[in-house]
Amino acid sequence: METTKIIQEIKELRQRIREHNYSYYVLDAPKISDAEYDRMLQRLLHLERENPELITPDSPTQRVGGAVAAGFSRVAHARPLLSLANVFSIGELVAFHDRARKLLETENLEYVVELKIDGLAISLVYEDGQLVRGVTRGDGFFGEDVTSNVRTIRSIPLTLAGQGGSSPRLLDVRGEVYMPRPEFERLNRERAQRGEPAFANPRNAAAGSLRQLDPAMTAQRALDIFVYGIGEPQAGMATHMDSLDYLQSLGFKVNPHRRLFHTIQDVVDYCSLWEEKRRELPYDIDGLVIKVNDLRSQQELGSTAKDPRWAAAYKFPAEQAITVLEDIFTGVGRTGVLTPTAILQPVRLAGSTVSRATLHNEDFIAEKDIRIGDTVIIHKAGEIIPEVIAVIPARRTGRERPFVMPEHCPACGGPVVRREGEAAHKCVNPDCPALLREKLIHFASREAMNIEGLGPAIVTNLLEAGLVNDAADFYRLRMEDLVKIERMGEKSATKLLAAVEASKQAGLDKVLFALGIRYVGAKAAGNLAKQLRTMEAVSQADMETLTGIDEIGEKIAESVMAYFAEPENLALIDGLRNSGVVMEAAELPLAAEATLSGKTFVLTGGMETMTRQEATAAIERAGGRVTSSVSKNTDYVVAGSDPGSKLTKANSLGVQVLNEDQFLELMGLK
């Protein structure tokens, strides 16, 4: 490539990266995906390595992060808070190991591997055991003083626990502030209700929350932290693992999944393990951090101007991708709500090919100015349908078309309305075939009546054959009816009839959830069943009775009362009852009720006799509660197959561990 062309490309890359740094770090409004940003930066790094004479001090490759935002004072880090060099493949990770091995002239290297928390880097400065300052990374040398906001994060100690009653005179702790996924979802729901734009991801939400000018706003958001290092190691420390143990002894929250390995192959295996397991966590990680354990070796390896040579960040494959939105399809759900879905140009994302993404509703499309033909960024969090999180207006050609919600139901042609104060468009035809199909699929689903083998395809076949008109008809099916259905042999029909029969004993909570009462999720259904005990009592409950039940507010209460005021709903319930479906809450053994009331459980690993959701429901029916993490306040950890680190933590804290048989015995189910 000609020198002039190289100079021009470098210039353009630097400018684009600076613009995106400003959008991301200062405005908290990213315009491109992480993957595309990484590709730009890697291209710039490559060009500068090939042409070192073109490197300038102001190049983004010579910086650590973004700029200090207006509204916060500028504070210098006592020791630079450097970012880490990224590696994107096992080959690059092994190359990092080989460089460290050669520089240290040794074949024996220990590595500490930690989860790479997807949040906001922070420096916490303590003097004589007291928190005096919290500073964001900023550009690595100067950051933003966010002390008032940091003090609102409950997992950050304001006073150090100390060892033997003493605390270090000065301690600079480095960590990652993050937003747990449940809090992120709650925050976005509230923002949607207020008509505010949703945060793109938990990291974006954490950054926006920590950098609020009003600490009261930060306090309203359940931010958390994991600390991962010390700016200046303390006397007597020989290894990085020593420093993590020391921080934990002082009362800091250190991630429990840190591991010490003696070979690079073990490091590679651990990275591969977490590529599969990361969605089990209640917070986001985007990779793992690999650090040379020996502190003297770290000093010998040193750092470049922007990152240490003794550490690397192994990045997972991107969970964001860029593609073209080719069309928008509108489907009809079980409550009649019309949901627009993006039809995408197929693209690889998080290990699978994606061709569809949710668009939620008309307001979501208008807020993001999504048009048919747009180039969009899609995001996948967990095992769910991806979501369009942003449009790239710069790639528009002028041929893009705005989307308009249909005035008539695409399934039945009936009228579509949008009620005042609601975001949803709904088909108001009670006989809409799409509504009935989705209601029946929900009724039979695993979380509801759990009728194994009665999936969407079979439900559609039953409807087309005229064998079902409501959920009660499932219990009237006969062998001679089923064998007439395409691809339904006698063996499959026998299994389906057995599953239908077994579902009669699912219990009142499952039936209430299966009915699809608006706003009544699995937990609300469980609370209604636990308190009122019978379908008759639920159907006759008034506002005062319903709102007196845990987590049942006026909105849910009104929906429940409205459901049971409809004659066709009462007729369905009578049909289910006459078919033998149990309409009462199961009576738990008195011993189980007495044992579990107020107790806290953590479930880890797989169970043979029930799903995790079923075990959770059983515990909650008995008055207990289930949490996601083990602490000293946990009463029981139920360990199934492949239990993971929660079992290790339970043993270290002395928490009682139950195997599956012991759990069933405690519950009175054995």
- pLDDT for 383: 44
Nearest CA-CA partner of 313 in 113, 94, 84: 84
In-domain check, residue 583: no
Amino acid at 459: V
Say what the alpha-carbon torsion angle 562, 566, 571, 576 is, to the nearest 10 degrees. -20
- pLDDT for 577: 95
Mean pLDDT computed over 66-86: 75
In-domain check, residue 533: yes
Query: Is residue 597 domain-shared with residue 509, that is, in the same domain?
Result: no
- pLDDT for 70: 52
Q: Which of 136-150, 196-210, 653-667 has the lowest mean pLDDT?
A: 196-210
What is residue 657's three-state secondary structure? strand
CATH assignment of the domain containing 562: 1.10.150.20
CB of 104 within 8 A of CB of 115? Answer: no
Measured in degrees and rounded to the nearest 5, phi and psi for residue 294 equal -70, 125
The pLDDT confidence band at residue 609, using thresholds 50, 70 and 90, is confident
Q: Is the pLDDT of residue 623 over 50?
A: yes
For the chain, the straight-line distance linking the first and the last C-alpha, in angstroms and rounded, comes to 74
Distance CA 616, CA 643 (A): 16
Q: What is the pLDDT of residues 403-431, one digit of tens each?
A: 999 999 999 999 999 988 888 899 988 88
Query: Is residue 625 domain-shared with residue 663, that is, in the same domain?
Result: yes
The pLDDT confidence band at residue 591, using thresholds 50, 70 and 90, is very low
Q: What is the pLDDT of residues 441-452, one digit of tens each?
A: 999 998 899 898
The pLDDT confidence band at residue 304, using thresholds 50, 70 and 90, is confident
- pLDDT for 279: 80
Q: What is the pLDDT of residues 87-132, one digit of tens each?
A: 888 889 999 999 999 999 998 899 999 999 999 999 999 998 889 9
Distance CA 648, CA 642 (A): 12
Last residue of one domain, picked from the residues 284, 315, 346: 315
Q: Is the pLDDT of residue 471 over 90?
A: yes
Mean pLDDT computed over 459-476: 93
Query: Is residue 185 domain-shared with residue 255, that is, in the same domain?
Result: yes
Q: Is the pLDDT of residue 580 over 70?
A: yes
Contacts 24+ apart (CB under 8 A), 394-397: 396/371, 397/373
The pLDDT confidence band at residue 58, using thresholds 50, 70 and 90, is low
The pLDDT confidence band at residue 593, using thresholds 50, 70 and 90, is low
Range of 54-63, 80-89, 204-213, 362-371 with top mean pLDDT: 362-371
DSSP structural state of residue 382: S
Query: Is residue 336 domain-shared with residue 354, that is, in the same domain?
Result: yes
Q: Is 670 a catalytic residue?
A: no
Q: Is the pLDDT of residue 233 over 90?
A: no
Query: Is residue 216 domain-shared with residue 123, that is, in the same domain?
Result: yes
Catalytic residue among 11, 31, 116, 426: 116
Query: Is residue 534 domain-shared with residue 605, that is, in the same domain?
Result: no
Query: Is residue 123 domain-shared with residue 199, that is, in the same domain?
Result: yes
Query: Is residue 167 domain-shared with residue 250, that is, in the same domain?
Result: yes
- Segments forming the whole domain that contains residue 29: 3-62
- pLDDT for 451: 93
Query: Is residue 311 domain-shared with residue 324, that is, in the same domain?
Result: no
The pLDDT confidence band at residue 382, using thresholds 50, 70 and 90, is very low
Q: Is the pLDDT of residue 626 over 60?
A: yes
Q: Whole-number mean pLDDT of the chain?
A: 86
Query: Is residue 78 domain-shared with residue 56, that is, in the same domain?
Result: no
State how many domains the chain has: 5
In-domain check, residue 428: no
CB of 280 within 8 A of CB of 222? Answer: no
